[in-house]
């Protein structure tokens, strides 16, 4: 039966704006675009699932079509749902491994020196390409030698010194690949006079959704809603995340894609730069020292979908002496695990080309962005280092 909340396709006015804004349809004739793969063919699929047009697999779930749509059609959600609801299920070892970030992260951090060495070897990349269809041109992110949660145990007792607390959803990237970002979040939140709480969270579910493991993503979602809501001391405490995709999952994907009730936490979830700016507005302002850099800011698609890129830009502008060049809004092309698959790699690279060109043209000291996978894609394709806005803020704190 069609649920009332899932008929946003019926609001489509056929303007085609979404297709113009779709970065995938722009670079390949293999994908007809969001209008056709979304609202146009949803009616057919509902009538007869056999009429599924498999070209919808090329959608990367970047959500830029949803940003552009004047009728608030949940185009990307319709396409993602159709992918797992009507497509034939295939077990692929590669997709299984790419989606199990907690499993791979636990193993990767335990044996980080060995894993990091081997995943950069040309011969290993060749075999991954031939056997698992993971493109040999793709650079893998390194694993850290210890997790963020392990480090946090050493500072947990100091967090009780603060009367006000913030719950921090750190995500897999901070836990297994780059704990320094989590340490920077703790530094900034503490500098605002608040303690940090972390919970026994699981992966937010974004890679599971992207690879079709919907039941597993729902189970992660239910777990996260439970642990986060149980940790809330009151209605006003914020749940912050420094990952744009994790925040989007908690706020948007849980109810819209996974059909989970996230009402116990929805009003508390805030992207971290919004939370900090709101503190500034209340008069809780950080003393910041000048940073004489020129940075190019790239706004990630999922942050734009939430309308939160403006908060990051505003926050960067608060750092004295920092020159911020706002890059034209472009998709970097990686879209999580999409750019880690042979069948989409060429598209992923073509999508990102315009962004790589404008970064080179801006000639910054480094690039700033909120998304970990955008960072991997930009660092692989340009000569620039990519920094998270919170790490820059942590550096500016006196």
Tell me the closest approach of the beta carbon of residue 128 to ligand SF4, in angstroms.
25
CB 144 within 8 A of CB 110: no
Tell me the closest approach of the beta carbon of residue 46 to ligand SF4, in angstroms.
16
Binders of ligand SF4 among residues 14 to 53 (CB under 6 A) are 14-18, 22, 24, 34-35, 38-39
Query: Considering beta carbons, is residue 62 or 260 the nearer one to ligand SF4?
Result: 62
**CA separation for the pair 391, 388 (Å, rounded):** 5
Tell me the closest approach of the beta carbon of residue 248 to ligand SF4, in angstroms.
12
Query: Considering beta carbons, is residue 37 or 159 the nearer one to ligand SF4?
Result: 37
CB 274 within 8 A of CB 293: no
**CA separation for the pair 262, 254 (Å, rounded):** 7
Binders of ligand SF4 among residues 320 to 379 (CB under 6 A) are none
Tell me the closest approach of the beta carbon of residue 303 to ligand SF4, in angstroms.
14
Tell me the closest approach of the beta carbon of residue 141 to ligand SF4, in angstroms.
23
272 binds ligand SF4 (CB under 6 A): no
Size of site (CB under 6 A) for ligand SF4:
28
Which among 82, 78, 83, 76 has a CA at the least distance from the CA of 21? 76
- DSSP 8-state symbol, 275: H
Tell me the closest approach of the beta carbon of residue 138 to ligand SF4, in angstroms.
19
Sequence-distant (6+) residues with CB within 8 A of 319 are: 288, 290, 291, 392, 393, 396
* Tokens found for residue 284: 């809780």
**CA separation for the pair 97, 80 (Å, rounded):** 20
Query: Considering beta carbons, is residue 65 or 386 the nearer one to ligand SF4?
Result: 65
Query: Considering beta carbons, is residue 36 or 142 the nearer one to ligand SF4?
Result: 36
* Tokens found for residue 144: 């850290």
Binders of ligand SF4 among residues 131 to 190 (CB under 6 A) are none
Query: Considering beta carbons, is residue 38 or 182 the nearer one to ligand SF4?
Result: 38
* 368: helix, strand or coil: strand
Residues in the chain: 398
Binders of ligand SF4 among residues 55 to 94 (CB under 6 A) are 59-65, 68-71, 73, 75-76, 79
CB 83 within 8 A of CB 56: yes
Query: Considering beta carbons, is residue 301 or 319 the nearer one to ligand SF4?
Result: 301
Query: Considering beta carbons, is residue 60 or 274 the nearer one to ligand SF4?
Result: 60
* 295: helix, strand or coil: strand
Which among 36, 3, 2 has a CA at the least distance from the CA of 18? 36
CB 319 within 8 A of CB 117: no
Query: Considering beta carbons, is residue 16 or 353 the nearer one to ligand SF4?
Result: 16
* 128: helix, strand or coil: helix
Query: Considering beta carbons, is residue 13 or 30 the nearer one to ligand SF4?
Result: 13
Query: Considering beta carbons, is residue 74 or 220 the nearer one to ligand SF4?
Result: 74
Sole residue written with tokens 């942590």: 394
**CA separation for the pair 268, 50 (Å, rounded):** 41
Q: How many CA atoms lie within 13 A of 58 on its CB side?
A: 22
Rg (CA), the chain: 21
Tell me the closest approach of the beta carbon of residue 251 to ligand SF4, in angstroms.
17
**CA separation for the pair 66, 212 (Å, rounded):** 21
Looking at the DSSP bridge assignments, the partners of residue 197 are 167
Tell me the closest approach of the beta carbon of residue 195 to ligand SF4, in angstroms.
38
Tell me the closest approach of the beta carbon of residue 30 to ligand SF4, in angstroms.
12
Tell me the closest approach of the beta carbon of residue 229 to ligand SF4, in angstroms.
29
**Residue of 2, 10, 13, 113 that binds ligand SF4 (CB under 6 A):** 13
Residue 75: exposure state from Cβ atoms within 10 A (0-12, 13-18, ≥19): buried
Residues that bind ligand SF4 (CB under 6 A): 12-18, 22, 24, 34-35, 38-39, 59-65, 68-71, 73, 75-76, 79
């Amino acid at each position: 039966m069609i649920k009332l909340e899932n008929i946003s396709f019926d609001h489509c006015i056929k303007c085609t704006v979404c297709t113009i804004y779709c970065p995938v349809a722009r670079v390949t004739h293999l994908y007809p675009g969001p209008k056709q793969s979304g609202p146009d063919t949803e009616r057919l699929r509902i009538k007869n699932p056999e009429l599924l047009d498999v070209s919808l697999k090329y959608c990367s779930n970047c959500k830029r079509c949803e940003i552009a749509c004047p009728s608030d059609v949940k185009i990307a959600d319709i396409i993602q749902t159709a992918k797992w609801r009507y497509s034939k299920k295939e077990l692929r070892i590669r997709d299984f491994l790419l989606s199990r970030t907690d499993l791979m992260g636990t193993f990767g951090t335990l044996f980080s020196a060995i894993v990091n060495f081997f995943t950069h070897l040309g011969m290993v990349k060749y075999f991954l390409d031939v056997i698992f269809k993971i493109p040999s041109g793709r650079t893998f992110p390194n694993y850290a030698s210890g997790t963020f949660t392990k480090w946090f145990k050493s500072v947990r007792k100091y967090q009780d010194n603060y009367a006000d607390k913030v719950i921090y959803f750190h995500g897999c990237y901070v836990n297994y690949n780059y704990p320094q970002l989590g340490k920077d979040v703790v530094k900034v939140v503490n500098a605002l006079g608040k303690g940090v709480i972390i919970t026994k969270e699981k992966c937010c579910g974004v890679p599971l959704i992207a690879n079709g493991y919907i039941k597993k993503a729902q189970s992660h979602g239910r777990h996260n809603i439970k642990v986060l809501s149980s940790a809330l001391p009151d209605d006003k405490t914020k749940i912050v995340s420094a990952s744009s995709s994790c925040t989007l999952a908690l706020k948007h994907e849980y109810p819209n894609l996974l059909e989970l009730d996230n009402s116990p936490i929805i009003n508390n979830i805030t992207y971290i730069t919004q939370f900090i700016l709101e503190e500034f507005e209340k008069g809780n302002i950080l003393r910041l020292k000048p940073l004489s850099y020129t940075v190019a800011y790239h706004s990630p698609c999922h942050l734009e979908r939430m309308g939160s890129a403006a908060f990051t830009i505003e926050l960067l502008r608060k750092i004295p002496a920092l020159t911020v060049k706002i890059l034209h809004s472009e998709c970097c092309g990686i879209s999580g695990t999409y750019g880690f698959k042979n069948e989409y790699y060429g598209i992923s690279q073509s999508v990102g080309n315009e962004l790589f060109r404008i970064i080179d043209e801006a000639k910054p000291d480094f690039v700033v962005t909120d998304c970990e996978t955008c960072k991997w894609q930009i660092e692989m394709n340009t000569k620039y280092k990519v920094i998270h806005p919170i790490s820059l803020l942590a550096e500016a704190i006196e």
